[in-house]
């Protein structure tokens, strides 16, 4: 049984516990079902919780208190230090062991504590404690139906829970007295560990029904402590879910894990690391996009107000290999000469039935040329000498060729000069493309 000194010590520690933002908190500070989410998925909620209790970096050192070889330990990035959760046999020493264990973990630089306490098949103390705090009767505490139990076994357990509730009756609001009457060493040690860790501002992941009961008792002493906890799994027992609802904690997973063997804690740690890494990657992408959009490159010259003018960093200046256009008096760029007309476009115009191809400037177009086909045979006889001919392409009659004079025979036409001569109108530009 705890002495008066231990009770005073727990009350002193409970008075030191505050929320991550420094407020004293309270059991009714948050609505049932948790705080309304500001947006995002469950991983975003994990990231916000971790940022509030520790920061935005991955946990470097994690201490896991459990019974080795009882659960599945998946791969994680953090350094996980395993500790066998073996509370002293004497109940009066269990609370001191929990306080000292939390102090040692924090002093060693632990960023996160995992608390997994396996429940023995015949253990009902945690059900009695939870039912007393929540104001439930034996049947509500046991739940019905209970998978895996026969009717006889279920009746026996309900009877034991009922007798236990009679022994602790009247101590619903006195968790310390409740712990004294139960003399359950795992409950005493776990409650002390969670309470001291919260006072030392170190978060914890609770795994299993006994660890959840410890959190419920510790929260009765220091309501702000729950802000430092993360529930691993919602469990399969109805009583575990009732406790999480009272604590205003939303479990990370819903796999029905009731063993408290460490599996739920490790899975939650993996998801927490994944959430933090994803948030870091998103922040890096946002920073890269912001830097790219805001990046500018100073240009030569000074503005009117004496400030150097700037142009976007991705904008390139005209090089010597790129033909620059001449500026007109109005400030608009002049069209390139006829020699810059794309030969491929001329070929396409001729194939479409054009008798004459000319480069006409488009007032609404800032650069390049607009190709126009002028199907007028009368003007073809006196073409503009500034416009080059189009050798090597057969003339095609227009749609109304029947009403016109027949074209001369192809044998009468003089062969055009080979490609690459002065009349070849296509020429490479500075970037290797043809214009």
What does the pLDDT look like over 63-89, one tens digit per residue?
Answer: 998 776 555 556 678 888 888 888 888
The pLDDT value given to residue 121: 84
Longest CA pairwise span in the chain (Å): 124
Taking a C-beta distance cutoff of 8 angstroms, is the pair 49, 30 a contact? no
pTM over 0.85: no
Lowest-pLDDT range of 100-114, 154-168, 411-425? 411-425
C-beta separation of 271 from 279 below 8 A: no
Q: Closest Cα to residue 196, out of 66, 116, 105?
A: 105
Please state, in angstroms and rounded to a whole number, the distance separating the CA atoms of residues 217 and 194.
10
Q: At 128, is the secondary structure helix, strand, or coil?
A: helix
- The answer to whether the beta carbons of residues 326 and 334 sit under 8 Å apart is yes
Fold of 4-281: Rossmann fold (3.40.50)
Q: Which residues of 141-170 are buried (b: 16+ CB within 10 A; e: fewer)?
A: bbbeebeeeeeeebeebbebbbebbeebee
Of 313-317, 382-386, 394-398, least confident by mean pLDDT is 313-317
Can you give the pLDDT at residue 4? 73
Domain boundaries, the chain: 4-281, 340-404
Q: What is the pLDDT of residues 2-27, one digit of tens each?
A: 777 788 889 999 999 999 988 876 65
pLDDT at 298 over 70: no
Q: What is the DSSP string of 60-110?
A: SEEEEEE-TTSS-----SSEEEEEE----SSHHHHHHHHHHHHHHHHHTT-
Length of the chain: 435
Q: Among 31-40, 109-118, 229-238, 416-425, where is mean pLDDT lowest?
A: 416-425
pLDDT (tens digit per residue) in 250-281: 999 999 998 898 999 999 999 999 999 998 88
Instruction: Give yes or no for a contact between 158 and 145, defined as CB atoms under 8 angstroms apart.
Output: no
Q: Cβ neighbours of residue 225 under 8 Å, at least 6 residues apart? A: 14, 17, 25, 194, 195, 198, 199, 215, 218, 219
């Amino acid at each position: 049984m705890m002495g008066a000194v231990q009770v005073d010590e727990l009350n002193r520690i409970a008075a030191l516990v505050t929320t991550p933002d420094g407020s004293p908190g309270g059991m009714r500070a948050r609505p049932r079902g948790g705080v309304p989410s500001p947006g995002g998925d469950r991983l975003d909620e994990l990231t916000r919780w971790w940022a509030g209790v520790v920061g935005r970096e991955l946990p470097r050192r994690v201490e896991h208190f459990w019974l080795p070889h009882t659960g599945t330990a998946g791969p994680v990035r953090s350094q996980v230090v395993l500790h066998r959760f073996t509370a002293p046999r004497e109940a009066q020493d269990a609370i001191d062991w929990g306080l000292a264990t939390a102090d040692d973990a924090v002093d060693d630089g632990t960023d996160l504590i995992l608390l997994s306490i396996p429940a023995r098949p015949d253990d009902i103390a945690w059900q009695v404690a939870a039912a007393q705090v929540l104001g439930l009767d034996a049947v509500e505490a046991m739940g019905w139906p209970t998978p895996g139990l026969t009717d006889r076994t279920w009746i026996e357990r309900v009877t034991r829970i009922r007798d236990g509730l009679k022994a602790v009756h009247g101590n619903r609001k006195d968790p310390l007295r409740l712990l004294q009457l139960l003399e359950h060493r795992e409950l005493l040690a776990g409650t002390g560990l969670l309470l001291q860790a919260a006072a030392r501002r170190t978060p914890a992941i609770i795994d299993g029904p006994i660890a959840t009961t410890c959190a419920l008792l510790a929260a009765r002493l220091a309501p702000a402590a729950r802000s430092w906890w993360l529930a691993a799994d919602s469990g399969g027992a109805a009583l575990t879910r009732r406790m999480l609802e009272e604590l205003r904690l939303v479990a990370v997973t819903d796999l029905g894990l009731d063993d408290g063997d460490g599996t739920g804690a490790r899975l939650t740690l993996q998801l927490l690391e994944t959430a933090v890494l994803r948030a870091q990657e998103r922040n890096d992408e946002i920073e890269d996009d912001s830097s790219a959009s805001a990046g500018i490159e100073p240009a030569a010259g000074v503005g009117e107000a004496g400030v150097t003018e700037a142009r976007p960093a991705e904008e390139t200046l005209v090089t010597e290999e790129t033909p620059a256009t001449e500026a007109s008096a109005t400030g608009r760029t002049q069209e390139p000469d006829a020699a810059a007309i794309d030969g491929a476009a001329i070929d396409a115009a001729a194939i479409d039935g054009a008798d004459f191809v000319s480069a006409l400037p488009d007032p609404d177009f800032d650069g390049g040329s607009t190709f126009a086909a002028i199907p007028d045979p009368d003007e073809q006889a006196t073409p503009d000498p500034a416009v080059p001919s189009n050798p090597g392409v057969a003339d095609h009659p227009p749609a109304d060729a029947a009403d016109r004079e027949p074209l001369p025979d192809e044998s009468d036409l003089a062969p055009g000069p080979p490609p690459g001569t002065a009349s070849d109108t296509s020429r490479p530009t500075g970037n290797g493309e043809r214009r």
